[in-house]
Amino acid sequence: MTTPSLRSGFNWNPLWLITGLLLLILFADASFAHGMSEQEKQSIIDGGNWSYLWLGGTHMLSGYDHLAFVFGIIFFLTSFRDIAKYVTAFTVGHSVTLIYATFNAIQMNYYLIDAVIALSVCYIAFANLDGFRKYLNINPPNMMAMIIGLGLIHGFGLSTRLQALPLSEDNLLMNIIAFNVGIELGQISALAIMLMLIAAWRHTNFFQTFSVITNYGLIMLGGLLFLMQMHGYEHTANADEFVGADQAVTAAPMTSATFDESLPWKDSLQFTLPPRGDLEYKLLVHKDDRFSFAWLTDGEPLFYDFHGEPTNDQSGYFESFGKGDSNAASGSLTATFTGTHGWYWKNNSRTPVIVTLNTRGDYQARDAMQPIPDLKPADGGQTKTHESIF
């Protein structure tokens, strides 16, 4: 892919710079909508392949990082043949890792993957600006090879998020394929809008200005997303996502060597998560009461979300105190509201995982595990969704 050089005599009009920054802010703000609601999560549990197809399409249409990369790919392409060639290369790349990694339960920290995807947005925009020749005085890498390689990384990101869903082991391959088809349909829909947008600008006198602003804006957007994702990665990697000075949580991950079963725990519980299974366990805690906990798996790490919901709240609100991927965690929490406090665990592996949970403090234990359908909020409620789900 060759890109025309942008005019070296470009006039940096402050109005255009302000416009670019406003677009960047709008793009960045849209990132907070890049999630999955409780209603969508419930439909996945109850539905079949059509639900996965629909979710794939809607996820791609809200996937600002993937769309920004596709937008960068097609920016200077004018022929249908070139557009089809490079978009197909990206599609093949992300489809391969989406299917392979999900089917074989291969995972990495989703924040880390998304950070690399953010850098891919910077890369494609830098290439569009002919940055390798202008600023590095080298020839750019082969664009086809880079798009395929970066597509593999994008597919890994899609797979990591897909594996946070309650996938069916018996119908796994069809679930993955349906989701991937939805991704491609969503990509085609977004691509059509992008091409119309670019075509509207291409034949105007402002296209060169538009080109510079857009591609520098993509670099800024990618850099901002990279910093955001690395911030999230630091929290999950260090397991210190606990909010409030009065919550005094000890979040250092435990290992089997430090898990001391002789500690004076009030309650001890052991249960098994089936392959790709998930469940919740909750404690009823009154405001200002405190409890401590320690949980440990028999080896495999689990995705977890430690959170609480106020009693009698009908809005669907919850507060997340910490989440990540680990085979153990320990800490203590002082409740800032009366309600249920506990854990959501997701086993993304293809083998059963045994979890041992110890707790002590001021609380009322719940005797039964809470299935995912119980998390559905009341109709019409304003829901703060689990960012960790999608």
Q: pLDDT tens for residues 325-350?
A: 788 998 999 999 999 999 989 887 87
pLDDT band at 287, cuts 50/70/90? Answer: very high
**What average pLDDT does range 359-366 have in this prediction?**
86
The whole-angstrom separation of Cα 162 and Cα 175 is 10
CA distance 175 to 132: 41
Please provide the size of the chain in residues: 390
Q: How confident is the model at residue 232 (pLDDT cuts 50, 70, 90)?
A: confident
The domains of the chain are located at 14-238, 245-375
Q: Are the CB atoms for 273 and 355 separated by under 8 Å?
A: yes
What is the Cα–Cα distance from 67 to 220, expressed in whole angstroms? 15
Answer yes or no: is pLDDT of 250 > 70. no
Q: Tens digit of pLDDT for each residue in 113-122?
A: 999 999 999 9
Backbone angles phi, psi at 272, to 5 degrees: -120, 130
The contacts of residue 278 (CB under 8 Å, 6+ apart) are: 166, 344, 345, 346, 347, 372
pTM higher than the cut 0.85: no
Lowest mean pLDDT among 70-84, 195-209, 225-239, 317-331: 225-239
User: Whole-number mean pLDDT of the chain?
Assistant: 76
**What's the pLDDT at 263?**
56
What is the reported pLDDT for 256?
38
pLDDT at 382 over 60: no
**Runs of H (alpha helix) within 322-379:** none
pLDDT score of 9 more than 90: no
Give tens-digit pLDDT for 173-211: 888 888 899 999 999 999 999 998 888 888 888 888 888
Quote the pLDDT of residue 254.
37
Task: Return d(Cα 14, Cα 51) in angstroms, integer.
Answer: 47
**CATH architecture of the region 245-375:** Sandwich (2.60)
pLDDT in tens, 106-141: 877 788 899 999 999 999 999 999 999 999 999 999
- The pLDDT tens digits for 29-68 are 333 333 444 455 555 656 667 888 888 888 888 888 899 9
Identify the residue whose tokens are 């089809």: 84
Query: Which burial class, exposed, middle or buried, applies to 23 when counting CB atoms under 10 A from its CB (0-12, 13-18, 19+)?
Result: middle
% of residues, the chain, pLDDT over 90: 35
